[in-house]
Structures are given as C-alpha cells and as structure tokens.
C-alpha cells in the first residue's frame, strides 16, 4: 500500500539519550517534512527537505537534525532528548515543495522522561 | 505574528449540519486547507481554497473570504464517523503552512 511508514509507533526515552525516528515513503514524492503535534497547538514544522540531498529548518528546529540521502527516507534525530521534546511526531510528504496536498504518516509518539 | 484561530471543540447531532469556522492573520496568502484527523491517526486532506467562494465536495463544503481572513468547513448529514478533529491551515507568502490547533468535533446520536 503506497504511503508513508513511520517507526517506532511509540517510544519512551530517558532524557539525554539519542533517538532516531524513521520515515519512509514509496510514492516518489520529492518533498518531505517533519512536524510535531502538541495538545492545544497547531502542527509545527521541525525540518523539511525539498528534494533528495537538501534539507531546511522549519519553525522549531533546535535539538533536531535530519538527513535526506535518497528520495524515500527522511530520518529525524534527537541528539540528546529533553522532556520538552515529548510529543507526537508526524512525517509528511508532497509531490513537490509548495504542492497543495500533504500525505502524513501515522505518527510516532515519543515520551522523554 | 501569524495566527490561525478555530474553536477548540464543537458538539453536533447525527444527521445534522455543523459549521466549523477558521480565522487567520498571516503574512501573505497562498491558499487555505482543511484536514481531518481522527484520534490517534494521521491528518488527511479534505479541501483547498485559494479563491473566494464555496467549494463543495460531497457532504463537505469549504468557504473562503480572503478580505475577511475567514473560512468555514460545512459538514452535512453528519455521521458518527465524522467525529474527529478538523485542522485549518494557511499557506503564507513563503509557501509555508501555518496550522491552527484544530477543532474537535463530537457527534452525538
């Protein structure tokens, strides 16, 4: 089934640990995005990639890094997790940057203690 | 700053009609979007408006007034499966999406 796969679905992590959230899409979309969703707030963009080999910072990039080695994969890394990074993380993609429709993954729920 | 406002929660009855409002203040405008998000699931695209007026898609319609910075999502013949959060988002002058916090819609039998 075409779409976006995120892993893990849920994770509890000790503060200070390193964590990578995985995101893979099979739609050959050029643009990919990482958002976090917190109660009472709108989705906030962490990082994005307009095409393989390029990345950019979104609204809340501090404490996160991404890479885009190929079209399909867009992992998000927390180098040293802090409790404020407790959130639900959504990976999304679109045909191209600026395209009107985003396709989202099912989300990764991360708890940092 | 940029801001998207929508009600936090609404309740409606199965079979009825509900209107979810969204007001926005953004630096530029390149389209307004509505997404549906069931609890614990991913947001899914519902509609896109870039010109003033009403866009109808089955039981769902979306309206836009750019001069008023206002949109609404109209859901007709409500079904229990319509219980979800509805997210309003605006694409600004930099083509970045600004998201509202979402409106949780509760449908009662």
pLDDT tens per residue, range B33-74? 999 999 999 999 999 999 999 999 999 999 999 999 999 999
Residues of chain A in contact with residue B38, where contact means CB-CB under 8 angstroms, are none
| pLDDT tens-digit profile, chain A (113 residues) | 679 999 999 999 999 999 999 999 999 999 999 999 999 998 999 999 999 999 999 999 999 999 999 999 999 999 999 999 999 999 999 998 877 899 999 999 999 99
Interface check for A106 against chain B (CB to CB < 8 A): the answer is yes
**Which residue in chain A has the smallest CA separation from B99?**
A42
Chain-centre distance for alpha carbon A102:
13
In contact, A43 and A35? CB cutoff 8 Å: yes
Strands B70-75 and B84-91: unpaired
Dist CA A11 CA A71 (whole Å): 26
H or E element: which one contains A103?
Answer: strand A103-104
The answer to whether the beta carbons of residues A30 and A19 sit under 8 Å apart is no
Tokens of A3: 């779409």
Name the residue in chain A with its Cα closest to that of B34: A101
* B41·A106 Cβ contact <8 A: yes
């Amino acid at each position: 089934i075409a779409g976006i796969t995120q892993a893990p679905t849920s994770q509890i992590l000790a503060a200070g640990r390193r964590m990578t959230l995985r995101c893979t899409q099979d739609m050959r979309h050029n643009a990919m995005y990482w958002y976090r969703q917190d109660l009472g707030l709108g989705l906030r963009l962490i990082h994005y990639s307009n095409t393989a080999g390029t990345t950019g910072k979104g609204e809340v990039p501090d404490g996160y890094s991404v890479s885009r080695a190929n079209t399909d994969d867009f992992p998000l890394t927390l180098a040293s997790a802090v409790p404020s990074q407790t959130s639900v993380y959504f990976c999304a993609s679109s045909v191209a940057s600026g395209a009107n429709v985003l396709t989202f993954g099912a989300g990764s729920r991360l708890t940092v203690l | 700053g940029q801001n998207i406002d929508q009600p936090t929660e609404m309740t409606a009855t199965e079979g009825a009609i509900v209107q979810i409002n969204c007001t926005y203040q953004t630096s530029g405008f390149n389209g307004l979007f509505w997404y549906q998000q069931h609890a614990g699931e991913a947001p899914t695209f519902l509609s896109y408006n870039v010109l003033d007026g009403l866009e109808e898609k089955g039981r769902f319609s979306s309206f836009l007034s750019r001069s008023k910075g206002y949109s609404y999502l109209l859901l007709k013949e409500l079904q229990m499966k319509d219980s979800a959060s509805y997210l309003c988002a605006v694409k600004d002058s930099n083509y970045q999406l600004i998201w509202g916090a979402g409106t949780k819609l509760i449908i009662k039998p």
